[in-house]
Amino acid sequence: MSAQIISGKSISDTIREEMRDEVDQLKQAGITPGLVVILVGEDPASQVYVRNKAKACEQLGYYSEVVRVPAETTQDELLELIKRYNEQANIHGILVQLPLPKHIEEKAIIDAIAVEKDVDGFHPESVGNLMIGDDALLPCTPSGVIELLKRTGNHPAGKHAVVIGRSNIVGKPVAMLLLRENATVTICHSRTPNIAELARQADILVVGVGVPKLVKKDWVKPGAVVIDVGVNRLPDGKLCGDVDYEDVLDVAGWITPVPGGVGPMTITMLMANTLKSAKRTQA
Ligand code: NAP
């Protein structure tokens, strides 16, 4: 039997629809959620992401600013810009599009963003709050993964979740959120010798490695939920995930496509974080 397809696009549309009422109420109370996206340089992929973020803001009636600065911008100039937006009351979320040019230290920039406006969830204090289970703005892609699971009835509680990849933006926070949702979590990475064997034990398999079609059908337990975070560009220009979708389709119970799976959730969770941050400013 073929796996059920998890459409991130349609789940994302539903969440945005649900957010509309909250946005309207907040606006009636005099607060318009505001997001600033800062783009340093002209990386083509980043340009597309930034455009999509601005479009989502427009669709939901947010206030949004896109600040484009040249690749030669110094670290001090960027820090100064962040300081300005930290203090600007109509801005509830600050996102600095990564990657940054080599001469700018990413950590210094992330650390400078006010925690309450850290809608990417990358600030060390946000990460710490996630770790200890305190209220926090959660990183967007990982929280999107959890939404996909819950909204398809695949609640992580009591399940064995295997996460392949341990980056700070995908693997580690996904693992931590799954743990918070009461899954039993195994984390694999490039130094794990027996990944296929571990992956085959997963009720929920989350893959974020950046290797096209790494996961084959013999890595997947029949009926498992497979969430593919990977986005890879093939030589023919097409996008593919870290999971060999066609190969795994007959074994998995549920699977996310690439594109149209995890991807659309990331921007929606960014919108949700901005809304949450704006709501917090209500007296
Ligand atoms: P990353 O920082 O390069 O981390 C990759 C992780 O995968 C590392 O932990 C690495 O292990 C592990 N890894 C690499 N090759 C492996 C292998 N052969 N077997 C097992 N583990 C392996 O990448 P990332 O930023 O987490 O991104 C991962 C993927 O997700 C990329 O395709 C990226 O484009 C995609 N992504 C998508 C979204 C979205 O919105 N859909 C958002 C973010 C990222 P080590 O730690 O041992 O090196």
pLDDT in tens, 72-119: 999 999 999 999 999 999 999 999 999 999 999 999 999 999 999 999
Give the whole-angstrom CA distance, residue 105 versus residue 167. 18
Known active-site residue 120: yes
Mean pLDDT of 125-142: 96
Claim: this prediction has a pTM higher than 0.85: yes
All structural domains of the chain, each given as residue ranges with its CATH number in brackets, are 31-115 (3.40.50.10860), 140-262 (3.40.50.720)
What pLDDT digit, counting tens, does each position of 140-198 carry? Answer: 999 999 999 999 999 999 999 999 999 999 999 999 999 999 999 999 999 999 999 99
Span 234-239, average pLDDT: 93
| 187 phi, psi to nearest 5 deg | -110, 125
What's CA 31's distance to the chain center, in Å?
A: 25
120, 228, 242, 244: which is the annotated catalytic residue?
A: 120
Indicate the helix (H) or strand (E) that contains 239: strand 239-240
Q: What is the pLDDT of residue 27?
A: 97
In the prediction, which pLDDT does 68 show?
96
43-71 average pLDDT score: 95
- Ligand 1 atom with minimal separation from the 232 CA: 32
Query: In this predicted structure, what is the pLDDT of residue 248?
Result: 98
Strand order from edge to edge, sheet including 184-188:
4-5, 254-255, 225-228, 204-207, 160-164, 184-188
Mutation test residue for ligand 1: of 49, 189, 243, the one with most atoms within 8 Å of CB: 189
The mean of the pLDDT values for the chain is 97
pLDDT classification of 1: cutoffs 50, 70, 90: confident
Please state the residue numbers annotated as binding site for NADP(+): 165-167, 231
Residue 97 bears catalytic tag: yes
